[in-house]
Amino acid sequence: MIDLRLKVDPLPIEEPLIVRLQAAGSPAQSDSDATLTEVEGDRREYELNGFSFAVYGTGDTVDGDVLMMLPGETTAHRLIRAGSAHNTLLVTEQCDQLCVMCSQPPKKYHTDLFEQFALAASLAPQGAMIGISGGEPLLHKERLFRMLQDVKSQRPDVGFHILTNAQHFSTADLDTLQRFDHERVLWGVPLYSATPEHHDSIVGKPGAFANLERGLGVLMRAGASLELRSVVMRRNWQDLPALADYVSTRLSFLTIWAIMQLERIGYARMNWKRTFQDTSADFEQISRAIDVATARGLKAALYNFPLCSVPPAYREFAPSTISDWKRKYLDFCLNCSSQETCGGFFEWYSEPEGFASLGPL
């Protein structure tokens, strides 16, 4: 597992500080660039605008990484890893839903760091695609939109993949949404059932399905790029073919429909035994759903599915999607011919409680 926090010496700062780490001898390209001046054991010293600070214990390269340092703290948040395609900014931990399988259980408080996140994104490598997650980012819609616009004005090459429950879009947002580059902004929106009561029950919010439909309508009118996300659970297992019918007839404008396996963390871990659906033992509802979607011209994909848990005819739909910092492989994966293309398992995957039928391909 890749560490997203690095030990640092506490700095005499009163506000959060964003820095980009540069190799020794590299010219500073911005006021946020810190240049490596000394390496001693696991200690790396950097110079930033006339003062120095140290970063400790980096087991992999950090050149080009963007860190956020907070007043009084001895760990820095590794916001952007230059060598990774899996960078996500957690912009809030507040949420207005309470999903039974939430991997990031919501909190009541919010620390506004949108200005710092905008600066971090502007320092990302060329062509970077950065995830925006929560909580629910659109609870702070105006701040989020301003951040996206600020980054776009400075770095039009940087893209965003924004996870949202789409409950808070309105027609008043159309002008703003239409100004975004739809090739560089992808909205990831969850839908768990075509039956409103089932979806509302899963997300723990009465009326969520109706609000979601309105939000999706706004995205459609704006011409936005949409990734629809449906996590597979026991509670919606029988709903998947009907959901495929709904998606392919009502939401045909979407970019991709992602059918997702469960992540065993947060509320999903607490509710695992009554939530996890072992798709290695029974794949029928997924195969029916994919068949319906693809027959009607929609692009479907299987996220977070190890290849050996998927029948051969459907493995082409299962790209490697688990973020590198939380991905692992099991012992038998060492002898698998498909390891390079398989997304593997979440770091917190538990074999005794996981898939029943696995093995090297």
The span from the CA of 128 to the CA of 150, in Å, is 16
The structure tokens 């507040």 sit at 94
> Quick one: tokens of 290?
């994919």
Find the DSSP H helices in the chain.
Answer: 114-122, 141-154, 174-179, 196-203, 208-222, 240-250, 267-270, 272-275, 284-295
Which CATH architecture is the domain 79-353 placed in? Answer: Alpha-Beta Barrel (3.20)
Q: Structural domain boundaries of the chain?
A: 1-78, 79-353
- DSSP structure string for 210-227: HHHHHHHHHHHHHT-EEE
The span from the CA of 98 to the CA of 226, in Å, is 22
Per-residue pLDDT of the chain (361 residues; tens, 9 = 90+): 788 899 998 888 999 999 999 999 888 899 999 999 999 988 999 999 988 999 998 767 899 999 999 999 999 999 999 999 999 999 999 999 999 999 999 999 999 999 999 999 999 999 999 999 999 999 999 999 999 999 999 999 999 999 999 999 999 999 999 999 999 999 999 999 999 999 999 999 999 999 999 999 999 999 999 999 999 999 999 999 999 999 999 999 999 999 999 999 999 999 999 999 999 999 999 999 999 999 999 999 999 999 999 999 999 999 999 999 999 999 999 889 998 899 999 999 999 999 999 988 8
| Residues in Cβ contact with 252 at an 8 Å cutoff, skipping those fewer than 6 apart | 296, 297, 298
pTM for this model (two decimals): 0.95
The span from the CA of 139 to the CA of 169, in Å, is 10
| Residues in Cβ contact with 169 at an 8 Å cutoff, skipping those fewer than 6 apart | 138, 177, 214, 215, 218, 219
